[in-house]
Chain A
Amino acid sequence: MPNKNGNVYGLTILSPIIDDDKATPSHDLQIRRYLATLPTGERSPFALAPGTHLARLVVMDDVIYVGMPACEEHLESKYLVFESNCDGELDNYLNGLAASVSEQLDAIWSHCVGYPGAANRQAFIDYMKACQIETTFFFAAVNDKSVSETLRALQTQHAVADFIASHQGMDPARLQAEFAQFVAELRSAPVPKAGSMGQPRDIKTGGRNE
């Protein structure tokens, strides 16, 4: 099934955007404006709802003219592209979105043709499936770990590096005792939030999300 790679699902949705001369600004611009201020970190709807590794939303204005001798042609409608790399089965994922972030979903998709709203779960899922395009080939670097397993593994990696560095040359008995405590603390630590930036560093490198 090309939409899946291991346990990861490659969801590609193209929703036609409402074309209404009387809307000011036009619906595609309204979507753009909303997306420009939507948080991309811990407060992103995709962080609040479960199961999204990476996702994007793109207003696709038109097809692209590559130049002569290719023909110039244009789309009748603009489309909202939703590309998501997520865990598990499609229905569960869509249900999860509708249950957690219906407000954001409505704010975005209410500008699209035939959108029924997230309140009616089944209608919402049917609408999304009507807009779904089959992924022809889907590549995933890691395809067998869920979002929460991954967040936990990242936390572990960081903690393990610190532990190894601070326990060099320690006598075995003390090492074993401190290791046991380390593991207990790590196990009871809360899973880090999806989309979070972690601790700020002293040296600013001008990274995009500073």
Chain B
Amino acid sequence: MSKLNETDIQGFVLRGYNLPLARYLFLHFEDASRARTLIGQLLHHVTTGQRWDGGKPQSTVNIAFTHQGLAALELPDATLLSFPVEFQQGMKKRAGILGDTGLNSPERWDEPWREDRVHAWLGINAQSPAALDSRCAEILGLLQATGGAVMLPSQDAAAVVIDGKPTTREHFGFTDGFGNPDYLGVDRSAQPGQGKLMPDGTWAPLATGELLLGYADEAGELPVVPVPHILASNGTFMVYRKLHQNLATFRAYLNEHAPLYGGGREKLAAKFIGRWRDGTPLELSPDNPDLSIAHDPKRSTNFTYGADSEGTRCPIGAHIRRVHPRDAFGFNGRLINRRRITRRGLPYGQFVAEGEPVSDTEERGVIFMALNASISRQFEFVQQQWIEYGNDAHLGNDKDVLMGNHGGHGKFVVQGDASAMNPPFICSKLPNFVELRGGDYFFLPSITALGMIAMDLVDPR
């Protein structure tokens, strides 16, 4: 395949920046021509996928649009109608499909998500608070100068800092940041276990078209794209979800159930996710965490479930096993290659150490962003069929223990064996540990496409 033109692809798509701070601005366009002028100016700021030879920049900027945003920019109707159906509808209208009901339903969402006013997302990542503020000030300056958009309530996010250093932990205490797929042509240090499984047991990168529009995907064809192709090429779709975490409920639930579980509190927590809190995969080290594995990229995601079909090491319903089943469904993993997503995002809210007082009403959670070529085939499928449901894993209606919309019902089975430290165990009457507080579907265009939008040159014929 041809080499990717990294200068045409937004950097946010090709790599996680690993910058510790972020501010997500949400914009509403009131006048198409002023908005286009604004985008033209923002183009100079947008971070591309070009490699950083001189080290990481102090801050980065990326931009994406909702369907309503593209309509407000007055793209042609034929183009607007050629976008995939789920993107046209937006995430709120898909609530029934995604299981965003009850505590997750749109009536309970935060601003700016409750009304349909979000037209654009501006993601600003930065090394330091000073860099973040200065970059934001520049952007705000542009907004004022062009009158191109109104600012809606923004969202701050930051890596959890422990002992003065930013970490990849999230609020429940788990280490995050494994599990992003490898794609053909996307240059990053590949880790075994992140691509697709080959018949000989090695891992190969996924087809580029699973992430980027305009390239062949795992089904051997080009994914559905809007017209004209040049608007779509090198772009992708982004799912943004603000996931509030009920930390008090989570800790209380563990405290209540861990005494009954033979393996102890840390092991029970590990069974929820499929990794010990330090990131060691249960599949490779079922009895105790092992930093030498967690810190070794050649091992930290290099495992399969074939030898653990009963779930005695990593429970069948554990989070990482649900969202990336690897070979668990047979057929050498071929059934899952078109269901992978790339995750970006950061936690938000104050980190509270174990044992310190904490309340569910405090603003705390994770900003979850998924990048994929087809929202319905990838993100929506995983959310509906593998998180809020369990049939493919032979778990019936059981939901993901951490993410599922349980409403006080449901259960999570920790499969075990006859040993005292690894008994079978059922967690029932599950509360909602995570609640959805807003989000939407976005289109993340290429640099070329941004230019076309800014210059009003989009023509579907």
Interface residues of A (CB under 8 A from B): 161, 164-166, 168-169, 201-206
In this complex, what residue of A is CB-closest to B389? A205
Whether the Cβ atoms of B428 and A202 lie closer than 8 Å is no
**B330 at the binding interface (Cβ < 8 Å):** no
**B252 beta carbon closer than 8 Å to chain A:** no
Chain B min CB distance to A36 (Å):
24
* Complex alpha-carbon distance, A165 and B405, angstroms: 20
The answer to whether B99 touches A205, judged by C-beta atoms less than 8 angstroms apart, is: yes
Q: Using an 8 Å CB-CB cutoff, how does the interface string of B389-413 with A read, 1 for contact, 0 for none? A: 0000000000000000101010100
Q: Are B428 and A165 in contact (CB under 8 A)?
A: yes
B411 adjacent to A165 (CB under 8 Å): yes
Bound together, the chains give a CA A202 to CA B411 distance in angstroms of 15
Q: Using Cβ atoms and an 8 Å threshold, which residues of chain A touch B79? A: none
| Cα-based distance from A201 to B411 in the complex (angstroms) | 14
Complex Cα distance, B414 from A164, in Å, reads 12
Known contacts A205-B99, A205-B101; A168/B407 CB under 8 A:
no
| Mask: chain B, 169-190; 1 = CB below 8 Å from A; 0 = not | 0000000000000000000000
Q: Which B404-428 residues have a C-beta within 8 angstroms of A?
A: 405, 407, 409, 411, 424-426, 428
Give 9 closest A-B pairs by Cβ, nearest first.
A206-B96, A165-B426, A165-B428, A203-B102, A203-B407, A169-B260, A203-B101, A202-B407, A168-B260
A205 in complex: contacting residue of B96, B260, B428, CB < 8 Å = B96
A166–B425 Cα distance when bound, in Å, is: 11
Among B99, B405, B426: residue with most chain A CB under 10 A:
B426
Q: A164-B426, A168-B260 are in contact. Are A203 and B405 (CB under 8 A)?
A: yes
Shortest C-beta distance, B378 to chain A (Å), equals: 21
Cα A201 to Cα B409 in complex, Å, equals 9
A124 nearest CB across to chain B (Å)? 39
Q: Is the CB of A161 within 8 A of B96?
A: no
Contact B426 A168 (CB under 8 A): yes
For the complex, what is the distance from the CA of A164 to the CA of B194, rounded to whole Å?
36
> Which B residues fall within an 8 A CB radius of A?
96, 99, 101-102, 260, 388, 405, 407, 409, 411, 424-426, 428
Alpha-carbon distance A155/B405, docked complex (angstroms): 25
- The interface residues of chain B lying within 8 Å CB-to-CB of A161 are 411, 426
Chain A residue contacts of B260, Cβ below 8 A: 168-169
A1 to B255 CA separation, bound complex (whole angstroms): 59
A-B contact pairs, 25 of them (CB 8 A): A161-B411, A161-B426, A164-B424, A164-B426, A165-B411, A165-B426, A165-B428, A166-B428, A168-B260, A168-B425, A168-B426, A201-B409, A202-B407, A202-B409, A203-B101, A203-B102, A203-B405, A203-B407, A204-B101, A205-B96, A205-B99, A205-B101, A205-B388, A206-B96, A206-B101
Chain A residues with CB under 8 Å of B411's CB are 161, 165
B426 engages A202 (CB within 8 Å): no
Q: A200: shortest Cβ distance to chain B, in Å?
A: 12
Q: Which residue of B lies closest to A168 (CB)?
A: B260
CA distance A151 to B356 in the complex (A): 50
Question: B422 CB to closest chain A CB, in angstroms?
Answer: 14
Q: How far is the CA of A169 from the CA of B425 in the complex (A)?
A: 10
CB neighbours of A166 from chain B (8 A): 428
How far is B409's CA from A173's CA once the two chains are assembled, in angstroms?
A: 29
- A201 vs B406: C-alpha distance in the bound complex, in angstroms? 11
Partner of A202, one of B96, B102, B425: B102
For A201, the closest partner residue in chain B by CB is B409
Give every chain B residue within 8 A of A204 (Cβ-Cβ): 101
CA distance A201 to B407 in the complex (A): 10
- Complex CA distance for A203 and B432, rounded to whole angstroms: 12
Which residue in chain B gives the minimum CB-CB distance to A164? B426
Q: With A and B bound together, what is the CA distance between A113 and B96 in angstroms? A: 45
Measured CA separation A205–B411 after assembly (Å): 18
- Measured between beta carbons, the chain A residues less than 8 angstroms from B424 are 164
